[in-house]
Chains A and B, each alone.
Chain A
Amino acid sequence: MRIATPLLTLFRVLVYGFLLAPIVIVVLASLNAGNFLTFPPQGLSLRWFWTFLQNDVFINAIVYSAVLATAATSVSLVLGTMAALYFVRHAGREAEAVRIGILLPLILPEILTAIALLFFFYEIGIGTSYKIALFTGHVLMTLPFVFLNVTTALQGRDDSIELAARTLGASRYTAFRRITLPLISPGLATGGVFAFIISFDTFGISFILKGTGSAPLPIQLYDYLRFNFTPEAAAVSTVSILLTLLLVTAADLLFGRD
């Protein structure tokens, strides 16, 4: 037992290191001054960030991903919150079916869902045009995250608080707006941030449904990585990591305090 405890601690530290390693290495690689992803790095430099900033393909991809993520998250926030309200407050015997149904996009293999959607949109004659299929896919992928977070927020709250507001004369709508909404706003924020990040990073759906023309960032990055080995991809990845961190921190500062 005396020996086992330090061994266990070491093992844990290794696992935490394992979790962080690829992320840390990407950030370090982006600072490489050399032309290739070599190790040890040939000096430190921000030149690849500069290259990236002048590369319209990646800049456009980031903007495209951000717009897509914002749109998909907005729709998911509304639908997911409504569904969570139904699930927590009103669902009876069908509760489990509702939960599984909404979590289906999360449970089913993403790539298979993407393929199924591709066929489906072709069959109804829309195909990948107008980005409708892509947008639908992103809403589906983000919906479970909003639903899960808002459900948790609602379940953590005492139901009678909203009932109390009703007895004091607030209408259903007023009680929701003045009491429930402020109370679940941290859950909404977390769900929204999660949804945004998932949409921003999701691969399978975007890969299959992107159609022609501009593509979301992960696809652009993947295409680039298949044929290039410069640290520019690392710079792009680092920027994407930083954007995510920024988003999470902002949400935490705004809504984190309960």
Chain B
Amino acid sequence: MTEVSLLSLTKSYGKAAALKGISLKIGHGEFVSLLGPSGCGKSTTLKCIAGFEDVTDGKILFDNRDISRKLPEDRDIGMVFQSYALFPHMSVAQNLAFGLEMRRVPKDQIAARVARAMEMVQLGAYADRYPKALSGGQQQRVALARALVIEPAIMLLDEPLANLDAKLRDEMRGFIRDLQKRVGITTIYVTHDQGEAMTMSDRVVVMFDGEIAQAAAPETVYDRPASERVARFVGNANILELPVAGQGGQIVLPGGHALQIAAPVPWAGGRLRVMARPEQIALTEPSAGHLGGRVARRYFSGGHVEYHVDTDCGPLIVLCPTSRSYAEGEAVGLQFDAERLWPMQRTGLPEEAAA
């Protein structure tokens, strides 16, 4: 097992900076996702770790060994590509054997290790098939086995599920996660899908514009995002801008209801922007809510109903169980889970905010 440290990694192409100083420590056996929109630098980070890009500045350490100047083939990594990158002219077994051959593993051991790896990904029966004859999910598992059979120090996955259909994608999430826990390998996973990052990772690293915006456990990133941008990227976020009452931590809704939020707010007066996730708001009778509103749109999605509600705080999105239904145009009350309202790091009067 290996610990990976990125020490103020920068990468620029001419004048354009793709990475502006990435520092991150990834623990033994940890599963870390790099999450962000396209162009945020997550893939560049992965390529730097794999050795396909030279870093402009900074260091990459595997257990205190500086590997930043090493060639990709000498870095001891297992990598799974978005396109799987299986060798089309080699059978499944030959694909798996390739890395072991490169390491000059004796022939009889290669056969045994390849067989074991194929069992591990439940492809024992497909040894002599060519990649073209396999389904997308099977190809995916071959790619995983090929990366793991060499017992690398770390595993890198570059959007490995992007080419699969929705149902298979859900299955593979669990499969990859289980496999990683069983093998106990330090893993870095690149994705632009926040759901994928949340369900699979020990830690999510949200990146924007070549910088790390937040690196924390999935729950933390979701409930306590470091910025509004992170809040919006990892899920639906209702942002309400409300006046802060005299003593710290009390915000006042239009209509007079005051809410005591749990998170510490070290200032008084002015206005505060707070985030409420759609499922952290409940709909009630108009009289019972903290805030009144009217249902503008209603979207049914099986397990839940999503309401777009017009309020004095602007349009809000509310996610409700299907038990009680509200019609479009109906007046409703909104009830907030004050415990989980999260203050964003942005304060001041509206004029200042606008400036």
Chains A and B touch each other in the complex, with CB atoms below 8 Å apart? yes
B112 at the interface (CB under 8 A from A): no
Q: Residue on A with the closest CB to B143?
A: A164
Which of A54-62, A166-174, A188-196, A218-226 is near enough to bind chain B?
A: A166-174
A33 at the interface (CB under 8 A from B): no
On whether the beta carbons of A169 and B87 are closer than 8 Å, the reply is no
Q: Residue on B with the closest CB to A170?
A: B102
Task: Report how far A165 CA is from B71 CA in the complex, Å.
Answer: 12
B243 at the interface (CB under 8 A from A): no
- Sorting the interface of chain A by its residue count into under 10, 10 to 19, 20 to 34 or 35 or more gives 10 to 19
Q: Residue on A with the closest CB to B97?
A: A168
On whether the beta carbons of A164 and B79 are closer than 8 Å, the reply is yes
A183 at the interface (CB under 8 A from B): yes
On whether the beta carbons of B85 and A160 are closer than 8 Å, the reply is yes
Q: Which residues of B contact A170 (CB under 8 A)?
A: 73, 98, 102
B99 at the interface (CB under 8 A from A): yes
On whether the beta carbons of B82 and A167 are closer than 8 Å, the reply is no
Q: Residue on A with the closest CB to B102?
A: A169
**Are A171 and B83 CB-contacts (below 8 A) given A163-B52, A183-B88, A183-B89?**
no
Chain A binding site: helix, strand, loop or mixed by DSSP?
A: helix
Q: Which residues of B contact A161 (CB under 8 A)?
A: 85-88
On whether the beta carbons of B99 and A171 are closer than 8 Å, the reply is no
A123 at the interface (CB under 8 A from B): no
On whether the beta carbons of A163 and B85 are closer than 8 Å, the reply is yes
On whether the beta carbons of A168 and B52 are closer than 8 Å, the reply is no
Q: Which residues of A contact B85 (CB under 8 A)?
A: 158, 160-161, 163-164
B88 to chain A, nearest CB (A): 7
Interface string of B42-85 (1 = CB under 8 A from A): 00000000111000000000000000000111110111011101
**Are A169 and B82 CB-contacts (below 8 A) given A163-B50, A182-B89, A183-B89?**
no
B146 at the interface (CB under 8 A from A): yes
B34 at the interface (CB under 8 A from A): no
On whether the beta carbons of A168 and B146 are closer than 8 Å, the reply is yes
**Are A167 and B102 CB-contacts (below 8 A) given A158-B83, A158-B85, A160-B85?**
no
B62 to chain A, nearest CB (A): 14
Interface string of A84-117 (1 = CB under 8 A from B): 0000000000000000000000000000000000
A156 to chain B, nearest CB (A): 11
On whether the beta carbons of B102 and A168 are closer than 8 Å, the reply is yes
B185 at the interface (CB under 8 A from A): no
Central interface residue in B77, B85, B146, by most chain A CB within 10 Å: B85
Task: Report how far A172 CA is from B72 CA in the complex, Å.
Answer: 9
B150 at the interface (CB under 8 A from A): yes
**Are A171 and B73 CB-contacts (below 8 A) given A163-B50, A163-B52?**
yes
Give residues 138-187 of A contacting B (CB, 8 Å). Answer: 158, 160-161, 163-172, 174-175, 178-179, 182-183
B14 to chain A, nearest CB (A): 9
On whether the beta carbons of B150 and A169 are closer than 8 Å, the reply is yes
Task: Report how far A171 CA is from B98 CA in the complex, Å.
Answer: 12
On whether the beta carbons of B50 and A169 are closer than 8 Å, the reply is no
Task: Report how far A163 CA is from B52 CA in the complex, Å.
Answer: 8
Task: Report how far A175 CA is from B86 CA in the complex, Å.
Answer: 13
**Are A160 and B150 CB-contacts (below 8 A) given A165-B87, A171-B73?**
no
B147 at the interface (CB under 8 A from A): yes
Q: Which residues of A contact B87 (CB under 8 A)?
A: 161, 164-165, 179
Q: Residue on A with the closest CB to B82?
A: A160
On whether the beta carbons of A167 and B77 are closer than 8 Å, the reply is yes
Task: Report how far A147 CA is from B64 CA in the complex, Å.
Answer: 45
Task: Report how far A171 CA is from B83 CA in the complex, Å.
Answer: 21
On whether the beta carbons of B81 and A163 are closer than 8 Å, the reply is yes
Q: Residue on A with the closest CB to B74?
A: A169
Task: Report how far A179 CA is from B87 CA in the complex, Å.
Answer: 7
Interchain CB contact (< 8 A) of A166 among B72, B103, B146: B72
A245 to chain B, nearest CB (A): 28
Q: Which residues of B contact A183 (CB under 8 A)?
A: 88-89
Task: Report how far A160 CA is from B43 CA in the complex, Å.
Answer: 13
Interchain CB contact (< 8 A) of B81 among A164, A169, A175, A178: A164
Give residues 23-40 of A contacting B (CB, 8 Å). Answer: none
Give residues 207-237 of A contacting B (CB, 8 Å). Answer: none
On whether the beta carbons of A168 and B71 are closer than 8 Å, the reply is no
Task: Report how far A175 CA is from B81 CA in the complex, Å.
Answer: 16
A120 to chain B, nearest CB (A): 38
On whether the beta carbons of A168 and B150 are closer than 8 Å, the reply is yes
Q: Which residues of A contact B52 (CB under 8 A)?
A: 163, 166
Task: Report how far A76 CA is from B190 CA in the complex, Å.
Answer: 41
Q: Which residues of B contact A179 (CB under 8 A)?
A: 87
On whether the beta carbons of A167 and B50 are closer than 8 Å, the reply is yes
Q: Which residues of A contact B86 (CB under 8 A)?
A: 161, 164
Task: Report how far A179 CA is from B146 CA in the complex, Å.
Answer: 15
A133 to chain B, nearest CB (A): 41
Q: Residue on B with the closest CB to A166?
A: B72
B80 to chain A, nearest CB (A): 9
Given contacts A161-B86, A161-B87, 12 further A-B contacts (CB under 8 A): A160-B83, A160-B85, A163-B50, A164-B79, A164-B146, A167-B50, A167-B152, A171-B71, A171-B73, A172-B71, A175-B73, A183-B89
Q: 8 A-B Cβ contacts within 8 A?
A: A163-B79, A164-B81, A164-B85, A167-B75, A167-B79, A167-B147, A167-B152, A168-B146
The 9 closest A-B pairs by CB, nearest first: A168-B99, A169-B102, A160-B85, A164-B85, A166-B72, A160-B81, A167-B79, A161-B85, A158-B83
Binding site for B on A (CB under 8 A): 158, 160-161, 163-172, 174-175, 178-179, 182-183
